[in-house]
Amino acid sequence: MNQTPNDAVHILLAIVPIVGIVMGSVVAFLYLLWHHKRTMLLIKLGQYQKPNFDLQSFALLTGLLLTSIGLVLSIVFLFIEGFSYSLLGGLIPLSIGIGLILYYVIRRGDGAP
């Protein structure tokens, strides 16, 4: 019952991720193309409305999430590995989250809409 896989199995295992990546890229490209054509048609018809995006709320929410995730990851990596390069896996999202929260605080202080 101890059989070694033949070359066909190795080839199939190498091709499956490549086909998945190519098909995913095709789907993403077709979506972007469809969205672009739809936007151009709406502009021609005069019915295009600029999407409403609240940057301050996005910065606050993303900042809070990244800060909390980064803090937890930093503590876990500190206890598991000590001071090593794996600690960067928590410090990077922590610093990005703190930066986004600072952006929110500074922007809110300016009285920006």
Asked if 55 contacts 112 with a C-beta cutoff of 8 angstroms, the reply is no
* pTM over cut 0.75: no
> What residue ranges do the domains of the chain occupy?
1-51, 55-109
Over residues 10-34, the pLDDT tens digits come to 888 889 999 999 999 999 999 999 9
- Asked whether the CA dihedral 66, 72, 78, 80 is positive or negative, the reply is negative
Nearby residues of 87 by Cβ (< 8 Å), 6 or more positions away: 74, 77, 78, 81
Using a 10 angstrom Cβ sphere, with 0-12 exposed, 13-18 middle and 19 or more buried, the burial of residue 49 is exposed
Please report which confidence band the pLDDT of residue 111 belongs to, taking 50, 70 and 90 as the band edges. low
Q: Which amino acid, one-letter code, is at 53?
A: F
Of 65, 58, 59, residue with least CA distance to 101: 59
Chain-centroid distance of CA 28 in Å reads 15
Over residues 94-104, the pLDDT tens digits come to 999 999 999 99
Query: Average pLDDT over the chain, rounded to whole?
Result: 91
Residue identified by tokens 């980064």 is 70
Average pLDDT over residues 71-89: 91
